Amino acid sequence: MRVDEVRLVELLSLEPRGLDAFIGLAVSYPWGPRLYGGQVVAQGLVAGAMTVDAARRAHSLHAYFIRPGTHTEPVRFEVQRLRDGRSFSVRQVTALQSSGAILSMLISFQTPEDEADIPMASPVPDLLGPDDASMSDEGWGKMLERQTPPLDTGIPGHWIRVASDHASELGADPVLQAAALAFISDAAPTRPVRALHPDLRGDRTDLGQFTGASLDHSMWFHRDGEIADWHWFGLQAHGLAGARGVATGDVFAIDGTHRATLSQQVLLRRVT
């Protein structure tokens, strides 16, 4: 099944399979047989949330991509309940296919607390908007929309959102909204790392000369929001060594709300 043949709400709807175990769909993506890491992270977040009191919200996740997943078989998610305290719950989620574990993730959930809310200053008003004529349309499929500033602007990042017809099916469920944000977050971090390599031109001539993959992915969720809105993923690379680079970024809704912070380690290797 191709990504264009499935709804996002279907991808995020897991089937219980025994005690704290769930099955999720796997679909193919335009770049080949490997699963999209954002899909597995998002499904793993849903699996963890299904074992936690509904009042508790995910506030952070830390995931390792262990081996490539395949679209030819479903993904099994096994959840281990590490802790349920007065305010926090911690879950470990392992995603498996016949090849073995493809992802391992820790998720922490917190009961909402009425405390100080001090926002980070938003860079959004000073940026090119998603509808600016100079933006490059780099979306894929009918599910994810992505607009990227021209390279010569020196602005590292993307505007990304879930297509409105997919977003409307998620409703106001905070678990699905957070999972959808996790889904699109993996479509952002690789560009600033790739831009560091002196032999990359940033165009289609790079295809086939380099291979890359996400090694690990972390997110911190700060505030709720609507996934149908455009979100600015402002990114920064932190060097490149040993075929690995790290990018960090902050995620802002188009109205300036600071939704999340992320980090990702990327593998970038020349094809020999």
Q: Going by C-beta distance under 8 Å and a sequence separation of 6 or more, which residues neighbour residue 175?
A: 45, 46, 49, 58
Rounded Cα distance between 20 and 209, Å, is 42
pTM for the model stands at 0.94
* Residue carrying the six token digits 């889904």: 183
> 3-111+132-270, superfamily in CATH?
Acyl-CoA thioesterase, double hotdog domain (2.40.160.210)
What is the per-residue pLDDT for 122?
78
* Residue carrying the six token digits 């099994």: 76
Q: Report yes or no: 193 and 268 within 8 Å, Cβ to Cβ.
A: yes
Rounded Cα distance between 65 and 212, Å, is 13
| CB count in 10 Å sphere of residue 246 | 19
Q: Would you state the structure tokens that stand for residue 91, as one six-digit string?
A: 């879950």
Domain ranges within the chain, ordered by starting residue: 3-111+132-270
What is the per-residue pLDDT for 202?
62
What is the per-residue pLDDT for 210?
78
What is the per-residue pLDDT for 61?
98
What is the per-residue pLDDT for 32?
73
Q: Could you say which DSSP state residue 55 is in?
A: T
* Residue carrying the six token digits 């009042």: 55
What is the per-residue pLDDT for 207?
59
pLDDT tens track, the chain, 272 positions: 888 899 999 999 999 999 999 999 999 998 778 899 999 999 999 999 999 999 999 999 999 999 999 999 999 999 999 999 999 999 999 999 999 999 999 999 999 999 999 988 877 777 889 999 999 998 877 899 999 988 778 788 999 999 999 999 999 999 999 999 999 999 988 888 888 888 876 665 665 677 888 999 999 999 999 999 999 999 999 999 999 999 999 999 999 999 999 999 999 888 87
Rounded Cα distance between 261 and 171, Å, is 23
Rounded Cα distance between 50 and 18, Å, is 13
DSSP code per residue over 145-186? EEEE--GGGT--EEEEEE-HHHHHTTTT-HHHHHHHHHHHHT
